[in-house]
Structure 1
Amino acid sequence: MHGDARLPRNAKEGLLFLLIISMISANTIAPVIVGLERGFSKEVYLDTLKIIPVMWVIVVLLVKLVAGPLAGMLMPKFAGQTDGFNARILLNTLLNVTVISMLMSIIGTWVGTREVSLAPLRNYLHIWPRNFGIAFWIELLVAQPVARFVMRTLHARQARATDNISA
Structure 2
Amino acid sequence: MYREDRLPQSPKEGLIFMLIISIISVNTIAPIIMGLQFGFSKGNYLETLKVIPIMWIIVIILVRFVAGPLVGRVMPKFVGQTDGFNARVLLNT
TM class by smaller structure: over 0.9
SS in 2 for 1:80: coil
1:19 match = 19
TM-score, normalised to structure 2, is 0.93
Asked if 2 retains the 8 angstrom alpha-carbon contact of 1:27 and 1:52, the reply is yes
Structure 1 residue runs of 5 or longer lacking an equivalent are 94-167
Amino acid at match of 2:15: L
Which structure 2 residues correspond to residues 1-167 of structure 1 after superposition, within 5 A?
3-93=3-93
**1:15-34 deviation per Cα after TM superposition (whole angstroms, max 9, x unaligned):** 01111111111100111111
| 60 and 2 in structure 1: CA distance in 2 versus 1, 3 angstrom threshold | farther
For the pair shown, which has the larger CA radius of gyration, 1 or 2? 1
Larger helix percent: 1
Identity %: 68
Aligned partners of 2:44, 2:16: CA distance in 1, in Å? 30
RMSD: 1.4
Q: C-alpha displacement at 1:2, in angstroms?
A: 5.9
Amino acid at match of 1:55: M
Aligned partners of 1:56, 1:2: CA distance in 2, in Å? 32
Amino acid at match of 1:31: P
TM-score, normalised to structure 1, is 0.53
Q: C-alpha displacement at 1:3, in angstroms?
A: 2.3
